[in-house]
Every structure is written in C-alpha cells, then in structure tokens.
Amino acid sequence: MSKIALITGATAGIGEACAHVFAREGYNLILTGRREDRLNKVASYLNDKYNVEVTAMSFDVRNRAEVIENLNELPAEWKNVDVLVNNAGLSQGLDPIQKGDIDDWETMIDTNIKGLLYVSKVVSNWMIDNGKGHIINLGSIAGKEVYPNGNVYCATKHAVDALNKGMRADLLPFGIRVTAVHPGAVETEFSEVRFKGDRERAKKVYDGFEPLIAQDIAETIWFVASRPAHVNINDLVIMPTAQATATNIFRH
Ligand code: NDP
Ligand code: 8X3
C-alpha cells in the first residue's frame, strides 16, 4: 500500500498545498478541517488528478472528543500513518495584552496548542504500534520571537516549539522523527482570519514585498519528509527574502 500522510487544516493555505504535494508524490491522504465542503472538493480533486486515495474528515481540532472519535473510527489500514503534518492553526486579533479579547486568546490556545496535542496523542500511539512515523509541526517565526501585539499567538507558537522538542525526546526510542517548520510571512487566509474577514487590512500585511506562498512551505515540508530514514531535520526557519525578523520587513 502507498504511504499515508495525515494533514490537519487542509481546507486552505499551507495545509491544502501540502495535500497537493503529498498527493503528487503518491501518498494516500487523510485530510481534516472544519469546512466540509472545501475539504471534500480538495479530496475529490486530488483523487481525480493523482489517483490517490483520500479520506476527508471534518472536525474541529479544539473538540477533544471529536478528534479522538473521528481518528479512532478510521479503518486499521488508514492508521498506518507515515507522516502527520500538524498544520491546523490560526491567529485571532493583534492587540496589546491589556486590550486583548479573552475569547480570541482561548481560540488560539485551544487550536494551536490543545488541538495539536489531541491529534498528536492519538497518532503518535499509532506510529509507535507501526514502528515508524514522522510528525511535522507548523511553528512560526512567532514561536522564535515575540513582536508587539502578538503576545498570545506568539505564546502558542513558542509552545509548539517546546512541544516539538518534547515530542522528539519522548518518541526517540521508537525511531519516530519530529520536525518543526517555522515560516515567516506566508500569504494565505491567515491574516484574513486574524483580522476576522477584513480583507483590506489583511492585504496590507503583504504590501510592498514578496511574501512566501503556501507552495513554498509545502515543498519545504516535502523536502523534510523525504530525507532518508536516518536523517531528521529538527527545526527549520523559512522566511521571505525581504523579511529578516518578525518585524523587520523591507518594503518598497
Ligand atoms: P489558513 O487560514 O490559510 O489555513 C488554516 C487552516 O487551519 C485551515 O485549513 C483551517 O480549516 C484550519 N483550522 C483552523 N482552525 C481549525 C480548527 N479549530 N479545527 C480544524 N482546523 C482548523 O492559514 P495558514 O495556511 O497560513 O496556516 C497554517 C498554519 O501555519 C497555522 O498553524 C499557522 O499558525 C502557521 N503559520 C502561518 C504563517 C503565515 O504567515 N500564513 C506563518 C507561520 C506559521 P477550517 O477553517 O476549515 O477549519
Ligand atoms: C504567522 C507569521 O509573523 O504573523 O505565524 O506571526 S506572523
């Protein structure tokens, strides 16, 4: 049977681009996300184009019971996951700590940290049983630096950075690879989500320079996943050429 990649947050952006790249490389896919219609479209497109098998599962990674039930209900052959891309995540708001919206904070913490943990707990046990696996976590430059008004989003991505190291240490005896990929600015729906549908404000984030695109990250993730079994890339920071740090972007 072909290899299997499980990609969370495959309805848009980096996750969707990863789904395309892994399908192109012949992987069967388990794709997740909340927007069922989009998920099904991606799944049937990839099934037609690359002749790979795709299982689409719509659930909210914040809902612990839903995550566990949906994943456990997969047939045994689908639990033979080779690569897990922990991609589902988001930012909500860009405000100083004293003005932050507590609901936004909880959404980010529940999605970026707790959701990633729920999925990882289930899938890492499959990988241990299967004697193989690679977990690739989407961190961020926001997990390496803290920028003004980024407070809670940055904290969630610092947590991903720490969990990435912790997972690697814990899964080492089982030969399971663990990698974090930390992008700078990637033009996806990320800023639209952060600014709650304000497209004009979202577009301004990428004004005057060439940001990364989702495909850049997907190809990098594929590079990480396709190294020989004895090679693990621990940590990879990838930025637009015009971006030196989280806040230092050279705009024309
Ligand atoms: P997008 O908004 O384009 O995509 C986010 C994906 O995450 C969507 O598929 C969305 O699916 C899914 N998602 C969000 N919340 C949930 C949830 N509660 N349950 C299930 N799925 C969820 O953003 P990106 O592609 O840019 O972001 C992907 C990852 O990359 C995130 O972890 C982000 O933090 C990280 N990242 C992004 C950067 C950027 O500049 N764009 C830079 C660094 C890191 P749906 O809404 O259908 O549930
Ligand atoms: C997304 C990149 O710089 O907006 O993680 O935090 S940034």
Tell me the per-residue pLDDT of 181-233, one tens digit each, with 9 for 90 and over: 999 999 999 999 999 999 999 999 999 999 999 999 999 999 999 999 999 99
Q: β-strand 212-213 against 186-187: which pairing, if any?
A: parallel
Using a pLDDT cut of 90, give the percent of the chain over it. Answer: 100
Residue 248 in domain: no
Residue 250 in domain: no
Q: What is the Cα–Cα distance from 189 to 58, expressed in whole angstroms?
A: 19
Which domain does 172 fall in, by range? 4-238
Q: Is 45 a catalytic residue?
A: no
Q: Say if ligand 2 is within 6 A of residue 142 CB.
A: yes
Residue 243 in domain: no
Mean pLDDT of the chain: 98
Given pLDDT bands bounded at 50, 70 and 90, which one contains residue 13? very high
Q: Say if ligand 1 is within 6 A of residue 183 CB.
A: yes
Pocket test of ligand 1: the residue of 18, 135, 186, 215 to mutate, having most ligand atoms within 8 Å of its CB, is: 186
Residue 211 in domain: yes
Supply the CATH number for residue 154's domain: 3.40.50.720
Please state the rounded mean pLDDT for residues 146-153. 98
Atom of ligand 2 nearest to the CA of 154: 6
Q: For residues 167 and 160, is the Cβ–Cβ distance under 8 A?
A: no
pLDDT of residue 98: 98
Residue 249 in domain: no
Q: What is the Cα–Cα distance from 77 to 170, expressed in whole angstroms?
A: 25
Atom of ligand 1 nearest to the CA of 14: 25
Please state the rounded mean pLDDT for residues 39-58. 98
What is the complex's ipTM, to 2 decimals? 0.99
Ligand 2 midpoint to CA 185 (Å): 6
Q: Which of 27, 50, 118, 153 is catalytic?
A: 153
Residue 91 in domain: yes
Q: What is the Cα–Cα distance from 237 to 107, expressed in whole angstroms?
A: 25
Residue 13 in domain: yes
Number of separate domains in the chain: 1
Q: What is the Cα–Cα distance from 160 to 116, expressed in whole angstroms?
A: 8
Q: Say if ligand 1 is within 6 A of residue 9 CB.
A: yes
Residue 244 in domain: no
